[in-house]
Amino acid sequence: MDFTRVTEQPTSFDRPQPGADPGDPRGALVHAQEPARAPGTGAALAAQARSGGESAASQAASPASSGAAPETAAPGGSGQDTVTGPASEHSQPGAEHGAGPDAHRPRPTSEGIPVQPAAGQEGRPVQGPDVRERRTGQVTPPGRPTPMRRDGDRLRFVGAATRRIARGIDLDEIVMGLCRATVPTFSDAILVYLREPLPVGDERPTGPLVLRLRRSDRIPADRDTEGGFAPIAPPEPNELDSVGEELCTVRPGSALAEVLRGVRPVFTDAPAARAALPELLGEQGATAVPDGQRAILAPLRGRRRVIGAALFLRRPERIPFEADDLLVAAQLATHSALGIDKAVLYGREAYIADELQRTMLPEHLPRCTGVRLASRYLPAAETARVGGDWYDAIPLPGSRVALVVGDVMGHSMTSAAIMGQLRTTAQTLAGLDLPPQEVLHHLDEQAQRLGVDRMATCLYAVYDPVSHRITIANAGHPPPVLLHLGGRAEVLRVPAGAPIGVGGVDFEAVELEAPAGATLLLYTDGLVESRLRDVWTGIEQLREKLAATAQLTGPDHPPPLEALCDEVLDMLGPGDRDDDIALLAARFDGIAPSDVAYWFLEPEDAAPGRARRLARRALSRWGLEELTDSVELLVSEVVTNAVRYATRPVTLRLLRTDVLRCEVGDDVPQLPRLRQARATDEGGRGLYLVNRLARRWGATRLSTGKVVWFELNHG
């Protein structure tokens, strides 16, 4: 009598077996029909097929006594796979007895994971009267679901699921990967609870343990018939739809706390788990959980502590979970918890990078007299939110403004830290009113003090709106581009200089015209240099882009600053984001000579009276007589303080812009301080009056002394 053995061969994700679906990453199980064998060889084949530590599924029977072919256990079978024992849920559907060879070849499914059919329901596949279970060869009773999993399938499922979970970077991607990997392949529904808030790293959470429902997935109403599921029309509500509460507090010593402390997944039919369900799901949700081994509660434990829980559910008509499924749930929970831990750490690092960017770069550009400013900053990538590029605009005495742009090598957190130190140093040096070349010299010394290979490029410019001049010093940075009012764009000829950090080099400053209506564009090399073009090609493209943009608004109207910055960034192609980009645009409005009044006063007792007369005449010429009393009083107080200690002539300057600004300079470096004068003091009330009457006031130390200024609003 002929005997037929079904041979199952392991498959590989890399090399699918012949006859498999090319789109299936797992391949297909190959079932070959062997030649007929003599009676009595079935027992030997069964012994050969057994793995170490596993018992044979059944003994070979004599053909004469049984009248049937002997049964042969497939490799990897368990002791339960007997005629009367429960069938494994992880087997592919078997073929009908006596069918051809093609009947033994199952259809490959996506991700190499077999699906679970329903049993005994309308529109869902059920077993015929002669269906055999492939691992044991036993005839399955009609209406009973065919076991869908083998041990090899479990391994393939865990491998595919963990790869899907590992693909996630942030928290939502990891949780969604867990849900999509398990529903409907492993369970009909899943609920994922996470700690609120999630602990970060080694920090010890305070307060009670609160779990919040992060995500829940269930089998959709329309299911793929090709994958083994039949569509349900119309979708009917089931008991799993009512499972789940939004928030639960884990009380110390409660049943849920004990289950979470145990770390290992458990069936919910266990007494401890059954007592924990009402606390997790609420009373109504706990009653909706199917009876028997159709629910698994798996704690999610990160590197240090429990961070959540996952509940895997199967409907009552489905095959219950087996003991080996606890190992699958443990693997899913472990990989998900470790991924969540890393996602939380990654999120904290991204938050720190964002905060570092906001603190290192100016949050708002200052409003300076005679100049309008706009800026842009783009990191090299979304995963590196901060780098070594920076820009700055620093108000200086005399209504001047310092424009700074720099680039530290690299775009890492280290580069950002070095950039922050250099930017702070530049602000301090600018407050001393040093020439641009001296500022770069001190920055070079500071970079050498920070360590070896702390290289950076920097461009420092000082714009004077009264003289309409700009002084620029460069330290290895790309040259700025000046867009004139008529639409002509030119690359300024500025000595390149050596980068900051080289040491032992001199920096040279040049003074150029800065006509009213012109726009100066300072940028870092990430804007003009990439793998697709060199820096000088990029600079020429930038110049052409600025000229083309200026033509759109006509020769008499410069383009708006914000729109100009956006147009400049539009020149970047898809492959041009190799480095950070910092962009600073300055529109020179200047101050007309007719709006400036400037005098020198000798440090003598008559200086305050003369200052009052000069200020009165200037206000009368400008039509600001309503400010005469306030200006005379404040000018008299500030000039009196200046001539008391000055040894050289005192300067007095009035500027009429959107406000009236008065500046008094002397050669004494000590800055005045506001203090409350006592009733018996004869002086000390000058700055108190300035503070009460002026819109704003301040004092700035210069290399040759100081300047005290105040501003008043005018109609």
pLDDT band at 85 (very low <50, low <70, confident <90, very high): very low
C-alpha dihedral, 683 to 686 to 689 to 695, nearest 10° = -160
Q: Token digits for 664?
A: 């008094």
Q: How far apart are CA 112 and CA 103, in angstroms?
A: 19
Q: How confident is the model at residue 104 (pLDDT cuts 50, 70, 90)?
A: very low
Residue 394 has pLDDT above 80, yes or no: yes
User: pLDDT tens for residues 335-359?
Assistant: 999 998 888 888 888 788 777 777 8
Task: Report yes or no: 650 and 604 within 8 Å, Cβ to Cβ.
Answer: no
How confident is the model at residue 677, as a pLDDT? 62
Per DSSP bridges, beta strands 481-483 and 489-491 are antiparallel
Specify the pLDDT at position 359.
81
Picking from 487, 451, 630, 629, the residue whose alpha carbon sits closest to that of residue 559 is: 487
151-218+242-351 against 361-588: fold identical = no
* b/e map 358-390, b = 16+ CB within 10 Å: eebbbeebeebbbbbbbbbbbbbeeebbbbbbb
Task: Judge contact between 55 and 136, C-beta under 8 A.
Answer: no
The residue among 75 and 159 whose pLDDT is bigger is 159
Helix axis angle, 171-182 to 323-360, nearest 10°: 160
Q: Give the H or E element holding residue 174.
A: helix 171-182
CA atoms within 13 A on the CB side of 536: 0
Residues in contact with 141: Cβ distance below 8 Å, sequence separation at least 6, in sequence order: 127
**Is 248:279 a contact under the CB 8 Å cutoff?**
yes
Residues 264-283, mean pLDDT to the nearest whole number: 87
**160: Cα separation from own chain's centroid:** 26
Q: How far is CA 242 from CA 245, 246, 293, 309, 458, in A?
A: 9, 12, 19, 18, 63
Residue 479 to residues 301, 318, 365, 419, 542, Cα–Cα distance (Å):
55, 72, 22, 20, 12
Residue 656 has, within 13 A of its CA and on its CB side, a CA count of 18
In this prediction, residues 581-585 reach a mean pLDDT of: 93
Dist CA 314 CA 317 (whole Å): 8
The answer, yes or no, to whether residue 133 has pLDDT greater than 50, is: no
Share of residues in the chain with pLDDT > 90 (%)? 35
- Residues 641 and 644: their CA atoms lie apart, in Å, by 5
Cis peptide before 197 (omega within 30 of 0): yes
pLDDT at 328: 92
- Look at residue 664 and tell me whether its pLDDT is greater than 60: yes
- Overall pTM > 0.95: no
The per-residue pLDDT for range 439-492, each reduced to its tens digit, is 999 999 999 998 877 899 999 999 999 999 999 999 999 999 999 998 899 999
Question: What is the reported pLDDT for 598?
Answer: 93
**Range 689-708 average pLDDT:** 87
pLDDT of residue 657: 86
Taking phi first (over 0 means left), then psi (-120 to 50 degrees means alpha), and beta for anything else, what does residue 648 get?
beta
pLDDT at 425 over 70: yes
CATH class of 361-588: alpha beta
3-state secondary structure of 705: strand
Q: Where do the DSSP E strands lie in 465-580? A: 469-475, 481-483, 489-491, 509-513, 519-523
DSSP conformational letter for 184: T
Q: Is 701's pLDDT higher than 60?
A: yes
DSSP state of 579: S
- pLDDT for 202 equals 64
H helix count then E strand count, the chain: 14, 21
Name the CATH code of domain 596-713 (choices 3.40.50.150, 1.10.510.10, 3.40.50.10330, 3.30.565.10): 3.30.565.10
Residue that wins the pLDDT comparison between 90 and 550: 550
Is the pLDDT higher at 416 or at 69? Answer: 416
pLDDT band at 44 (very low <50, low <70, confident <90, very high): very low
* CA–CA separation, 117 and 114 (whole Å): 10
Q: Look at residue 158 and tell me whether its pLDDT is greater than 80.
A: yes
Q: What is the pLDDT of residue 577?
A: 67
**pLDDT the model gives residue 402:** 96
User: Rg of the chain's alpha carbons, rounded to an integer?
Assistant: 40
Token pair for 169: 């970077």
pLDDT at 710 over 80: yes
Lowest mean pLDDT among 244-248, 280-284, 698-702: 244-248
Q: Check if the beta carbon of residue 186 is closer than 8 Å to that of residue 154.
A: no
Indicate the domain borders of the chain.
151-218+242-351, 361-588, 596-713
Position 240 scores a pLDDT of 53
Whether the per-residue pLDDT at 535 is higher than 60: the answer is yes
Rounded distance between C-alpha atoms, residue 555 and residue 624, angstroms: 34
Mean pLDDT of the 156-165 span: 89
Lowest mean pLDDT among 218-232, 467-481, 646-660: 218-232
Mean pLDDT (the chain, rounded): 76
Strand, coil or helix: what is 653?
strand
Write out pLDDT tens, residues 612-642.
999 999 999 999 999 999 999 999 999 999 9
Q: How many residues does the chain have?
A: 715
Per-residue pLDDT, 531: 77
Q: What is the pLDDT of residue 510?
A: 95
Does 17 score more than 50 pLDDT? Answer: no
With 90 as the cut, is the pLDDT of residue 46 above it? no
Helix 413-431, helix 323-360: angle, nearest 10: 20
Range 151-218+242-351 has CATH code 3.30.390.50:
no
